[in-house]
């Protein structure tokens, strides 16, 4: 059950990403209580301190509200969530574009590559039959 982390990035960052994903996709709905730090640690087979650190990032951005002794909650301000999403998304797009340009790709080629990656991905998903 332990979550899988790649070793080329700090675990705590991968954790935050994962939780952000969860928030954006509705796995952790707006206003809902997140699993406790200790639960998260158990689920991900990671030290509670690491979880703490991961969630601290999210508090800083305002995606998570802390209610001292009750637990951590996904913010109820939809605005924060969408803003975070857009900010992140366009940053990713910008960086991606920059990298591709440095590699000498023009925008048509980029689109082409993305289409291929998309198909590749769908095949994988088919392969695993929905898992």
User: Between residue 78 and residue 97, which ones bind its own copies under the rule CB under 8 A?
Assistant: 85, 88-90, 92-94, 96-97
Minimum distance from residue 131 beta carbon to DNA (Å) = 25
52 binds, among its own copies, DNA, none (CB under 5 to 8 A by kind): DNA
Burial class (CB in 10 A: 0-12, 13-18, 19+), 29: exposed
Q: Which residues contact 48 (CB under 8 A, 6 or more apart)?
A: 37, 38, 40, 41
Q: Which two tokens stand for residue 50?
A: 């690491």
Return the one option of DNA, its own copies, none that residue 85 interacts with (CB less than 5 to 8 A, by type). its own copies
User: Closest Cα partner for 29 from 79, 81, 68, 88?
Assistant: 81
Give the whole-angstrom CA distance, residue 122 versus residue 126: 6
33 lies in the site for its own copies, by CB under 8 A: no
Q: How far is the CB of 47 from DNA (least distance, A)?
A: 3
Which residues in this chain contact its own copies in the complex, by CB under 8 A? Answer: 7, 10-11, 17, 20-21, 24-25, 65-68, 85, 88-90, 92-94, 96-105, 107, 110-111, 113-114, 116-118, 120-121
């Amino acid at each position: 059950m332990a979550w899988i982390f790649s070793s080329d990035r700090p675990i705590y960052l991968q954790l935050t990403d994962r939780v952000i994903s969860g928030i954006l996709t509705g796995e952790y709905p707006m206003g809902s209580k997140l699993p406790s730090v200790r639960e998260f640690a158990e689920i991900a087979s990671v030290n509670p301190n690491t979880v703490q650190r991961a969630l601290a990032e999210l508090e800083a951005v305002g995606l998570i509200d802390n209610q001292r002794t009750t637990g951590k909650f996904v913010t109820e301000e939809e605005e924060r969530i969408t803003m975070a999403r857009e900010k992140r998304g366009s940053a990713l797009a910008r960086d991606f574009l920059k990298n591709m340009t440095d590699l000498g790709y023009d925008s048509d080629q980029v689109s082409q590559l993305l289409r291929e990656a998309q198909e590749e991905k769908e095949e994988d998903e088919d392969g695993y039959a929905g898992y």
